[in-house]
Amino acid sequence: MDSLTQITLGAAVGEVVLGKKVGNRAMLWGAIGGTLPDLDVIANISADQLGALAYHRAISHSFLFAIVAPLALGWTVHRLYKSKGGKAWWRDLAIAWAALMALLTLGAFFLPIPAGNAIATGLAVSIGMILPPVAVGLRERWRKRPSQNPNASWRSWSWLLFWAIFTHPLLDCCTSFGTQIFQPFSDYRAAFNNIAVVDPLYTVPFLICVLITTRLARNSSRRRLVIFLGLGLSTAYLLFSVYNKYRINQVFEENLKNKNIAYQRYMTTPTLMNNILWQAVIESDSVYYYGLYSLLDDDETIEDFRVIPKNHGLVQPYRNDRALRILTWFSNDYYSIETLPGNRLQFNDLRFGGIQQSRSDSLNFVFKFVLEQNEKGELEAYQAEASRRDLDGAAAYLWERIKGD
């Protein structure tokens, strides 16, 4: 999910694990742990667009990272407060950074990234990940106000960071983007498709509870009550989204049956920033069907499904090209191909749906790549962005459609 949500979750986990002993420092380090995995976006600096796409939500979102990173960083946090940011802490921090760099570089080598770029990617991302601990370390070293019992054992700090980091990919698995939780052993992308990448109804109440908690005394019983309220509300909303998905699947299956549409597989996912309006992509032999259903619709009948030709034959000669291999893997084979002027092609990832300004408009897909042939006869790809005008019109139509037919 979005970074604000992950920071909020990490801070809440830190409070639950260690807040009673170290106060708001637990929330601070929990927030850092919660945001570390998403710093893999720094790969955009060193890798090409497709390499960075493959690297995002890969090794930094894996179970292996959730074990290694807390062990290394937990020791440095413990030493930070024990030595008050002295020379010993900087030495330990350098060792932790080296461990992160080795793991992040290893993860890059298991992806379709050239060797030179893999090393540069591991270096760049590890530097980005170590900067938040460095910033907090400098703050603590120069802090004039004396600390009251700020420290905890290495095991306690590592346990806090483990849960802050581990819950990050678990939550990301609930979205449609997919998370490579088994890297570097497998590039399988876990995606449960039950919540949008950005959902204010999940984040805002949770964030309010976390902010209130920071204003309460460390040993106050209300502090624990408020933070558990935030965790309870967010967990209840996740369970609500799971039930929603179950009901939505039933609605789409019934409509497909009534319309005698034969299909091989389908996927459903909520549209952006809500869990009320859902979209479905249904795959048949030669086409995809795309439909929308809102929980606020008058009935459970879906009047029409958009028909999207696959056109996979247009890229058949390029099946072994790097660009197409990455894009088909990333889209889980839910993709269509369109022709563009100048002998170019457009790759549409259908999992993220399309944007439109009215029911009669053609779909302008959210996640799409332009494919061009280079001098070697291989396909190269670059992402095509939707215009601001299209996005504004789509937001208005989305709001109207959420309210139901």
Give the largest Cα separation in the chain, rounded.
Answer: 73
**Lowest-pLDDT range, 2-16, 87-101, 244-258, 267-281?**
87-101
Q: Calculate mean pLDDT across residues 192-202.
A: 96
pLDDT tens track for 129-156: 999 999 998 887 777 554 555 678 999 9
Q: Calculate mean pLDDT across residues 266-294.
A: 95
The pLDDT, as a whole number, for residue 219 is 85
Q: Record the tokens describing residue 126, joined without a space.
A: 């590890």
Q: Where is pLDDT greater, at 16 or 392?
A: 16
Q: Calculate mean pLDDT across residues 178-182.
A: 96
The pLDDT, as a whole number, for residue 81 is 86
Label residue 78 exposed, middle or buried (CB < 10 Å: 0-12, 13-18, 19+).
buried
Cα distances from 400 to residues 58, 161, 195, 202, 392, in angstroms, run: 36, 42, 20, 21, 13
Give the whole-number percent of the chain exceeding pLDDT 90: 78
pLDDT tens track for 94-128: 999 999 999 999 999 999 998 889 999 999 999 99
Single-letter code of the amino acid located at 284:
S
The pLDDT, as a whole number, for residue 395 is 77
Q: Record the tokens describing residue 300, joined without a space.
A: 């459970």
What is the spatial distance between Cα 292 and Cα 308, in angstroms, rounded to a whole number?
A: 14
Label residue 193 exposed, middle or buried (CB < 10 Å: 0-12, 13-18, 19+).
buried
Residue 24, Cβ neighbours under 10 Å: how many? 16
Flag whether pLDDT at 404 surpasses 90. no
Q: Calculate mean pLDDT across residues 213-228.
A: 93
Q: What is the residue whose two structure tokens read 């996740």? A: 238
The pLDDT, as a whole number, for residue 387 is 63
Residues with Cβ within 8 Å of 385's Cβ and at least 6 positions away in sequence, in order, are none
**138-163: string of b/e by CB count within 10 Å (b at 16+)?**
eebeeeeeeeeebbbeeebbbbbbbb
Mean pLDDT rounded to a whole number for the chain: 92
Give the whole-number percent of the chain exceeding pLDDT 70: 94
Quick one: DSSP state of residue 40? G
The pLDDT, as a whole number, for residue 358 is 63
Q: Calculate mean pLDDT across residues 266-288.
A: 95
The length of the chain is 405
User: Closest Cα to residue 170, out of 207, 187, 206, 195?
Assistant: 195
The pLDDT, as a whole number, for residue 200 is 96
The pLDDT, as a whole number, for residue 251 is 97
pLDDT tens track for 77-90: 998 888 765 678 88
Flag whether pLDDT at 75 surpasses 70. yes
